[in-house]
Structures are given as structure tokens and as C-alpha cells.
Amino acid sequence: MPRFETWQMELHGHRVIYRTAGSGAPVVLIHGMVNSSRHWEEVALRLATEYRVIAPDLIGHGDSATPRGDYSMGAHAAFIRDVLAVLGIERATIVGHSLGGGVAMQFFYQFPQYVERLVLISSGGLGREVSPLLRTATLPGAQGLLAMGSHRKVLAGAWRAGERLRASGNNTGIYLQAIVRALRPLERRGARGAFVHTLRSVIDARGQRVSATDRLYLLRGIPTLVVWGERDRTIPLAHGRLTHEAVPHSSFVTLPRAAHFPHLEDPDGLAAALREFIASSEPGTTSDRAWAALMAPRAQQTRLA
């Protein structure tokens, strides 16, 4: 039976944790904000019977280092490139959840030659709307509030409240437990700082401030799967539908049992969708010439002098 093994590497002087399972064609799983590679375990083990699964902890998340530094989308994408380079992986299926979906799209934009397929799960970067909780967390003083909100006793009480709500048939309990799950990794001060820096790089009080919608046409030659939990109240399901419509030849799957964390709430459904998508699609390739050909019709040039 495959095991989800934990490994450590030093990258640019900082500790990086990644987890891996299985063998075969590589599949890279990029977690969302305040998640970690641990949260991919159930999906990774289901994929590991056919594929080599690699799930890194992004810098500032999970068990990786939390240095004072750059937590932008571009920095996270470069981090993924460097991890894959160290592991000797030249091309892979790239899967991203929430923030990780935004990182996956940025990774494709910066390093398209690495990407055979792209999977976006309840992804950020596809529209302005986002939950009020995340918008509030960008405001001044948020780090102090997070310290109180992520206290172990507070989270335990909130989780029990979520269980009672779900038992009574109130779907608010699912959302409350999703919040608790997100706050648990923020007990460490360094993790809270990294979270706030990462959050403010992509969200402000008005909503998501980073968008990939103007570059989705570049995915024309890359097999793309969009997956969304039908109960998602963090990022609207409509973002997934609009992305599917904008990306030629993309596939779209919704998971009725899942909210914003399909890999935790319905790992069977998500893993099945991933296996079917990978098995039914041929790896895409993007050469420099093809990249230029995609952009040329939209990159109108005007002589000014």
C-alpha cells in the first residue's frame, strides 16, 4: 500500500517540507492558504497507485520555514519551479486548490514548459468575490485578532458548535468547521505573519485583487480541469463556471458533498475526477514559438514615432 512520506530539503537556505507517494507520471498538488501538504493525504494516496504525487508545503505554510520575505504569487510559483528542479521533474500535471490554484496559474504563466495539464480546485484569482472573513483578515490589526481566534480552546469550541449545527441539518456547520480548519495552522506567530503577508498580496477589503482572467486564453493548448464544491461559500461556484466557459476545451466538475475544501470533504470524488481527467487527456506542450503565436493576435503594436 502506498505511503505519503514526508521529506525535507534546504532551498535557498530555508527548510522546505514536501510529501510524496507512488510512482509514475508526476502530479504536483499545491495547497491553499493556511493549508499544508498534509491536507492532500487522502487524495494523494488514491492517486499514488498510478502516479508519482508530490505535495510541497509552500514557504510560510505547514512545516516549511516562515522567513520574512516575498509571499507574492510570483514568489510561490518560483518556489514550485525550484522544488521540481531539485527533484528532477521536468514536466507534470499541476493541481492547485484555492490560493494554490492561483499559484498554479501563475506557475503556468511563468514556466509553461513545465505544465502538461492544469487543474484548478475552488481556485482563487478567477473573480473579485471572496468571503467576508478573508476580506476582514486583510485589515490593520488582523494579526492580533488571528492570534485570539486561533487559540486552541476557541477552535475546539467552534468545531463542536459546527458539529451540533450539522447534526441538526444546518449547513452553516460545514462553513464553521471550514473556518476552524483554516485557522488551526495559525497558532504559530510566524505562520500568522506569513498568512497575513500572503493574504494581502492577493486580497484587500474589496475582494480579490489578483486576477488571471485576462490570460486564460493562453491555456488553449493545455488540458484544463476546473473542480468546485457545490457548497462553497468562500469563493463562488460562478467563478468556476465562467472559467470553464473562457478556457477552450476545458472540463468542469462539481462535487455536491464538498464546500471549499473538496480534498478534505470529498477525497473520493475529487480523486476520481482527477484520475479520469488525467487518463482521458494527452499531455499538453507549450514551446516559445507556440507561446508567441497565442499572444500575437491580442498584442497589437502601434508605432509611436
> What amino acid positions are annotated as catalytic residues?
98, 232, 260
Among the listed residues 106, 91, 126, the one whose alpha carbon sits nearest the alpha carbon of residue 30: 106
Distance between CA atoms of 26 and 148, rounded to whole angstroms? Answer: 40
First-residue to last-residue Cα distance in the chain = 67
Instruction: Give the distance between the most distant pair of CA atoms in the chain.
Output: 71
The SS3 assignment for 204 reads: strand
Distance between CA atoms of 63 and 80, rounded to whole angstroms? Answer: 16
Measured from the Cβ of residue 153, the count of other Cβ atoms closer than 10 Å reads 7
Q: For residue 256, how many C-alpha atoms fall within 13 Å in the half-sphere facing its CB?
A: 0
CB of 44 closer than 8 Å to CB of 25:
no
Amino acid identity, position 99? L
Distance between CA atoms of 107 and 111, rounded to whole angstroms? Answer: 6
Distance between CA atoms of 285 and 145, rounded to whole angstroms? Answer: 46
C-alpha cell at 299: 498584442
| Count, residues in the chain | 305
Distance between CA atoms of 198 and 211, rounded to whole angstroms? Answer: 15
Distance between CA atoms of 137 and 249, rounded to whole angstroms? Answer: 36
Distance between CA atoms of 129 and 80, rounded to whole angstroms? Answer: 26
